[in-house]
Structure 1
Amino acid sequence: MLSFLLSTLLLASPPKEDWRTPFEKGNGNTTATYAECIAYYQKLDAAYPEIQMRAVGPTDSGQPLHEVVVALDGKFEPANSQGRSRPVVLIQNGIHPGEPEGIDACMALVRDYVQKKELRRQLENMTLVVIPIYNVDGALNRNSTTRTNQNGPESYGFRGNARNLDLNRDYVKQDSRNARSFAELFRRWQPDIFVDTHTSNGADYQYTMTLIATQKDKLAPDLSDYLTQRLLPALNTGMDKHKSPLTPYVDFEGRTPDARGLVGFLETPRYSTGYTTLFNTIGFVTETHMLKAYTPRVQATYDFLDVLLRFVHTDAAALTQARAQAVRKLSTQSTFPLAWKLDTTAADKVNFRGYTGKTKSSEVSGQPRLYYDRKAPFTRQLNYYNTFRPTLTVSRPKAYLIPQAWTEVLDRLRVAGASLQRLTRDTTLTAEVYYIEDYKTSPRPYEGHYLHSGVTVRTTQQPLRYYRGDYVASLDDATARFLVEMLEPQATDSFFAWGFFDSILQQKEHFSDYVFEDVAADLLRRDPALREQLEKQKQQEPALAKSGDAQLEWVYRHSKYYEPTHMRYPIARWQGGTLAVK
């Protein structure tokens, strides 16, 4: 009778909840679909008061971008973390959905951090924010063939989004709704640490996990010291304990990594960690090795994130102090780098675990081809070139003056949280103005734009007419560096470089030569100094001396008839006093 009652009670009790992720239910070589991923986080949200998932903005797919916030105290708004020694860690997954390890690792990580008592403790003094899948569009475009070099999973998403944009080139130009939603999310949270999860391409080597850290020379000194002296050593030690050692991202010049050594990755603001650096956030890109099996790649990603969160828990005060100091120093920073160059005379040493690169005959072409011999592993010290020097700097203006016509630029400044005020009346202001002297343009489109580079400018002081409603962008808050790198045309990823001001590069008026011949002759008669300047120029430039058309153009460009706005960069640098703004 007793056994019958026990069996009846057991049959009547509800089945134990299955908290395995879609990856864990699979064969070790599958990744969650977009629908499965969102449904799993919804299930966690419903079951645990410490977790909240919410839609935070649109994507080009028509589906929303989600954030998952994990806070043990149930306070899910950024204001509860900011201004306290309570770091925010933001993890972004699926920017390239064909590289999905972070998608699967984070589902298990969030679950474990609320279900396991020992892990819950790590969140007592921090807030964890997870973007389940950033490139929703690409995740919905599922296939099994586009990651040709990759060893699993069986199917996955596509790198391009719904507009065929690589979102890891879209952080400043923000052609996608995904990028604009991310910028708003990032501005709200102002995370102390940001992680973007990826899978590598490139050489073969022994490591499962490689790591791009924010380029140390681009960080404020306090943050750079914190990264290199405390955080990176702790991450390396922690991953060693998991028997999954880290190495810097395997970027190199030459035939194989051991030929000339590794080279640091200079992430400009078009990339995720280049963008976050503009706001004094330490960034990491995890790059698992594409030829390793999928399960160890997911495990290595999980382990890295776990090691990171544990260290942030123990070192929260030092991290927030270093970042606060960097923000304070930004307020008095007088010059800003705009471009960088690798210093090939400065090298650290790294112990690198690689495979010997060899050559054999190609079965396709019959020509010699490279292969890595996994039967010939090696461990040896390699040079690691990771010191970059500024090649161009600019002084800090008090503010930038922006005519209200440039709405696309203003929209992006607003999203980033820039301090924008508007002039309350029409006025004339004498400001520092650039003329674009020279630039190069890529012959083919890159991510939807014909990029400009090699920009040189001529600087003048000019009185300019401004109108009520034009904008003043002050450099008096944490967006100062962002404003400089976006609005100085010579910066590598400036709005000018991305083509937002191309209309100024085209003349709107010109002349008919047979009419202007008489006007030009009269100008030269009336202005002997102009005639003398032309004659000198002809002596210096034989081509000019031989061309009547070129001389006529020269006179036109040195006359009052030449339009003053041609090649004039429309955003001026203001160094003056108080402006009437609201």
Structure 2
Amino acid sequence: MNIRLISILSTSILLTLATARAEDWLPPLPAWHGDSEALIKAKSHPWVSPAELSGLKESPDYNTTIAYLRKLVDSSDLLEMEQFGTSAQGRALYLVKASAALHKIAQNPQRPLLLVQAGIHSGEIDGKDAGLMLLRDIAHGDKAKLLANADLLFIPVFSADGHERRSATNRMNQRGPVLQGWRATAQNLNLNRDYSKADAPEMQALLGVLNKYQPDLYIDVHVTDGEDYQYDVTYGFNEPFAAISPNAASWLAKLYRPAVNSALENAGHIPGPLVFGVDSKDFSKGLSGWTASPRYSNGYGDVRHLPTVLVENHSLKPYRQRVLGTYILLEQSLKLLNEQGKALILARQADMQARPKRMVLNYKASEQPDFIDFKGMSYQLRPSEISGDSYVYWTGEPKLYEKLPLYWDKVADKEVPVPTAYWLPPEQHQVIARLKLHGIDVTTLDKPTKVSVQQLNVVAYRFADKPFEGHFMLQDARFNKQTVSRTLPVGWVKVSTDQALGRLAVALLEPTAPDSFFSWGFFPGMFERTEYFEPYAIEPLIERMLVQQPELKAQFEQALTQDETLRANPRERYNWFYQKMPYYDQAYLKYPVLIEP
């Protein structure tokens, strides 16, 4: 097939797709009406939002969004706008502050602070248009009372570059808006995998917001893919049974969830839990409940002692319905902070002041399920001549799956004692800088200090075959441990775990943690040897060693019987002796972070 014909066919396919509608391939859609529809302003309203002009079918571009917010902020004493960073392509990143006491919004123990973030995945932009409507109603409607005893920070678009990579064909599994942004940033980084490693300039800027304002509740708004079900707004957080911050998690479970669910139901929405099918072709096998690690917003919030709710609106519901559901969730969150915000502040303080002796690094699914009545949809398995397999066809008919097994990630899979401190040599500039970005307190030695520490040595490891989020991650690593006494020179950095963010320090510096700097591959130098031996030099040295240490001969002969590579490779035989010499690289495969028990 020639290039011209391929081009013609490609153009034809694009034209076909461009004229198609999502209704042509997405599952049938049940009709929906709810009381929240009364929130939509008429086109003639002086403060109608850009999305409302289309009946919540379209979402405005970045410049239009910011222009509307500037106009709104200029019109109200309750609002301020702040640039908190710059995207990789140079776009300004903004947040809007809403408060009856704007000058006291940062770290005010008397006024709980809610941070709402939209557009971390900019194709999932429901939170932006819901937030614009809510800010409008606070400034020029009847919702100013939401600021009576609470404050709000609103980030309309976190991934600004992804937002402007707009297309009608970005998300084939999602109903609306008409033009949708892109999932990743201009650097092809997924910001909701970047919290712990903090590579992206957008994420580094966000960490500055968290450190500056110290919010008490964090809501991250997404749109989910996957199975069809009746719920239009699902959300979740690390549950109390698997939380680093159990007091805040209990507040979310006991106070937040019932209040938000009730508000959504009263407004005509169907709230649901953030769970996933175990087997996409067999719903009867049940659901999995997720405990997030610190690469994700909700996992990072948990280890940082910042109560974090991950909202996942259902991608198969219309954009209008999803935006209105998000509005209700955000409004109720502010209402609850007005009523129960001080209890949340106390819960956070208890988590920050706790100093547990052990910490779970990650959880795995329990073999014993809980059970849930799940509001799903019926489906059929249909044969596919294209794939040669079957696929799920969702009928659009509601179905209640009674007592469906739900397997929560709540069994401790890896647990470590919390050390007194971690020690980093001064050449680890990047890691030290990232720790400071997270707000973790570090101290630099100004005089030599003798410490008793653990030195971890890698005895086996495996890197990933391909990059993930800009890194070749460690897929597996095993260590042995030595207790050594060291006098550390001036310039070494101490990271004490006796601080509010001590658990975050453990998550980042404990090498076996799933999102540690080690796991993300921040220490490549430790896996390289830069000095070697020549046979003419090592041969006489080995002969001398065998005379001085007769037991080495027996050890070597035993090693030969056990290691086929050693028997077959002359260089490896030399290397066996080389590793026992003082000339061998003493930093090779040694984790450069020392651990003080």
| 1:106-255 equivalences in 2 (<5 Å) | 106-117=131-142, 119-216=143-240, 217-255=242-280
Q: Map Cα deviations across residues 56-87 of structure 1 (whole Å, 9 max, x no partner).
A: 122212112211111112325413x1xx2422
Aligned match of 2:328: 303
Once residues 391 and 226 of structure 1 are traced to their aligned partners in structure 2, the CA distance between those partners, rounded to angstroms, is 25
1:44 is matched with which residue?
72
Contact 2:281 2:381 in 1 (8 A): no
| TM-score where L is the length of structure 1 | 0.90
Aligned residue type for 1:333: P
The answer to whether the aligner puts 1:473 opposite 2:495 as a matched pair is yes
Aligned to 1:13: none
Instruction: Note if contact 2:363-2:409 (Cα within 8 Å) is conserved in structure 1.
Output: no
Distance 2:127 2:89 in 1: 21
Distance 1:364 1:547, change over 3 A: closer
- The residue aligned with 1:259 is 284
Secondary structure at the counterpart of residue 75 of structure 1: helix
CA, structure 1 residues 321+362, in 2 after alignment: closer, same or farther (shift >3 Å)? same
**Partner Cα distance (2:518, 2:437) in 1:** 18
1:356 to 364, 378, 399: 378
Partner of 1:394: 416
Q: Report if the CA contact (8 A) 2:560-2:567 is conserved.
A: yes
Which whole-Å CA distance do the structure 1 matches of 2:264 and 2:55 have between them? 25
Which secondary structure state, in structure 2, belongs to the residue aligned with residue 251 of structure 1?
strand
| Aligned mate of 2:313, from 276, 279, 288 | 288
Q: Is the 8 A contact 1:256 1:357 kept in 2?
A: no
* Distance in 1 of aligned mates of 2:327 and 2:385: 39
Summarize deviations over 1:560-581 as a string: whole Å, max 9, x none.
2211100111111235xxxxxx
Q: Residue 303 of structure 2 contacts residue 503 of structure 2 at CA under 8 Å; is this kept in 1?
A: yes
TM-score by length of 2: 0.88
Whichever residue aligns with residue 390 of structure 1, its letter is: A
Note if contact 2:281-2:392 (Cα within 8 Å) is conserved in structure 1.
Answer: no
User: 2:288·2:407 contact (CA, 8 Å) conserved in 1?
Assistant: yes
1:402-417 alignment, distance < 5 Å: 402-417=424-439
Per-residue Cα deviation, 1:538-577 (whole angstroms, up to 9, x for no partner) = 44445545554333222111222211100111111235xx
| Cα distance change of structure 1 residues 519 and 531 upon mapping to structure 2, 3 Å threshold | same
The Cα offsets for residues 320-358 of structure 1, whole Å up to 9 and x where unpaired, read as 1211111121xx22112223211121x322221111221
Equivalent residue of 2:544, what SS? helix
Cα deviations across residues 335-394 of structure 1 (Å, max 9, x unaligned)? 12223211121x322221111221223364565322111236335231222242222222
Q: Please, which runs of 5 or more residues in structure 2 have no aligned partner?
A: 1-43
The answer as to whether partners of 1:215 and 1:267 remain within 8 angstroms in 2 is no
Q: Give 5+ residue unaligned stretches, structure 1.
A: 1-15, 576-582
Q: 2:245–2:302: 8 Å Cα contact kept in structure 1?
A: no
* Residue of structure 2 equivalent to 1:444: 466
Letter in 2 for 1:302: Y
Give the structure 2 partner of residue 89 of structure 1.
114
Cross-structure match for 2:535: 513
Other-structure match for 1:32: 60
How many residue pairs match? The answer is 553
> Would the aligned equivalents of 2:462 and 2:474 in 1 still touch at CA under 8 Å?
yes
Identity of aligned residues (%): 29
Alignment of structure 1 residues 68-83 onto 2, 5 Å: 68-79=96-107, 81=108
Aligned counterpart for 2:364 among listed residues 334, 337, 341 = 341
Q: 1:419 to 1:396 in 2, by over 3 A?
A: same
After superposition, what is the alpha-carbon deviation per residue over 1:411-430, rounded to whole angstroms, capped at 9, x for unaligned?
11111111111111345544
2:157, 2:565 → 1: CA distance? 58
1:322 and 2:344 are equivalent in the alignment: no
Q: 1:433 to 1:199 in 2, by over 3 A?
A: same
Between 368-377 and 124-133, the greater mean CA deviation after superposition: 368-377
| Superimposed CA distance per residue, residues 443-475 of structure 1 (whole angstroms, 9 cap, x where no aligned partner) | 011111111132222111234463322212222
Distance 1:422 1:367 in 2: 60
Give me the whole-angstrom Cα distance separating, in 1, the residues matched to 2:169 and 2:594. 49
CA change 1:105–1:563 in 2 (3 A) is same
The secondary structure found in structure 1 opposite 2:446 is: coil
The residue type equivalent to 1:391 in the other structure is D
1:553 paired to 2:575: yes
Distance 1:343 1:367, change over 3 A: closer
1:114, CA displacement in angstroms? Answer: 3.2
What's the counterpart of residue 570 of structure 1? 592
Q: CA deviation at 1:524?
A: 2.0
